[in-house]
């Protein structure tokens, strides 16, 4: 296992991209191209389960490694932390699947007032669950992106590309102080020594 800061940061960024990809697959109520569909939701729950397994494997492999690098505990913590939002998103999609099944079962009763109210409530529950899944996946991706930057800061080219992006991440901090200006002149060192 390659456990250099760069390789670990790349795995973290790739996993953050997997969170973003799952977020992009979320159904959107009212959108004819992305409306909630029971099969698509079930498939996404399965994919999130695989993502959780992958996160667990990342934690396990690093925790079991007898020759851990100094940055490894931060990587383990970062992967372990995002299991929760991945699980939260899967759970929220489970609620969506439940509501879709209810809507399917009560389709023939849509003219009855009580059923109509229950069906409207199911749609609201589904919308709230989708919003929860969206927020959880966004939080997971953002957490991994931020953590990867602490393990191995992105390249200057990537930072420049992000600064030009419409969804730019915060600009990098000020450059390090110029070494030539921070070194005291010989006369200043002599004066302080007296």
What does the pLDDT look like over 96-110, one tens digit per residue?
999 999 999 998 887
pLDDT at residue number 46: 98
pLDDT at residue number 95: 97
Domain residue spans of the chain: 5-172
Residues shown for the chain:
194
User: What is the rounded CA–CA span in Å between residue 97 and residue 181?
Assistant: 63
pLDDT at residue number 141: 97
For range 110-116, the mean pLDDT: 82
For range 80-108, the mean pLDDT: 96
Token couple for 66: 């007898």
For range 110-136, the mean pLDDT: 92
For range 43-54, the mean pLDDT: 98
User: What is the rounded CA–CA span in Å between residue 39 and residue 126?
Assistant: 15
For the cut 60, the answer to whether the pLDDT of residue 153 exceeds it is yes
For range 24-44, the mean pLDDT: 91
For range 169-190, the mean pLDDT: 43
Q: Note the pTM of the prediction, 2 decimals.
A: 0.75
pLDDT at residue number 137: 98
């Amino acid at each position: 296992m390659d456990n250099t800061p760069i390789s670990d940061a790349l795995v973290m960024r790739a996993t953050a991209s997997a969170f973003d990809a799952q977020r992009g697959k979320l159904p959107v109520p009212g959108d004819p191209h992305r409306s909630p569909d029971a099969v698509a939701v079930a498939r996404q729950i399965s994919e999130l389960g695989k993502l959780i397994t992958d996160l667990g494997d990342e934690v396990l492999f690093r925790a079991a490694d007898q020759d851990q690098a100094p940055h490894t505990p931060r990587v383990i913590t970062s992967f372990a932390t995002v299991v929760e939002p991945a699980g939260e998103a899967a759970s929220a999609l489970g609620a969506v699947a439940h509501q879709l099944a209810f809507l399917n079962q009560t389709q023939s009763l849509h003219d009855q007032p009580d059923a109509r109210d229950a069906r409207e409530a199911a749609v609201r529950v589904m919308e709230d669950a989708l919003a929860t899944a969206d927020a959880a996946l966004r939080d997971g991706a953002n957490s991994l992106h931020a953590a990867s930057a602490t393990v191995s800061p992105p390249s200057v080219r990537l930072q420049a590309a992000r600064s030009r992006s419409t969804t730019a991440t915060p600009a990098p901090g000020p450059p390090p102080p110029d070494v030539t200006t921070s070194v005291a002149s010989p006369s200043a060192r002599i004066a302080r020594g007296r």
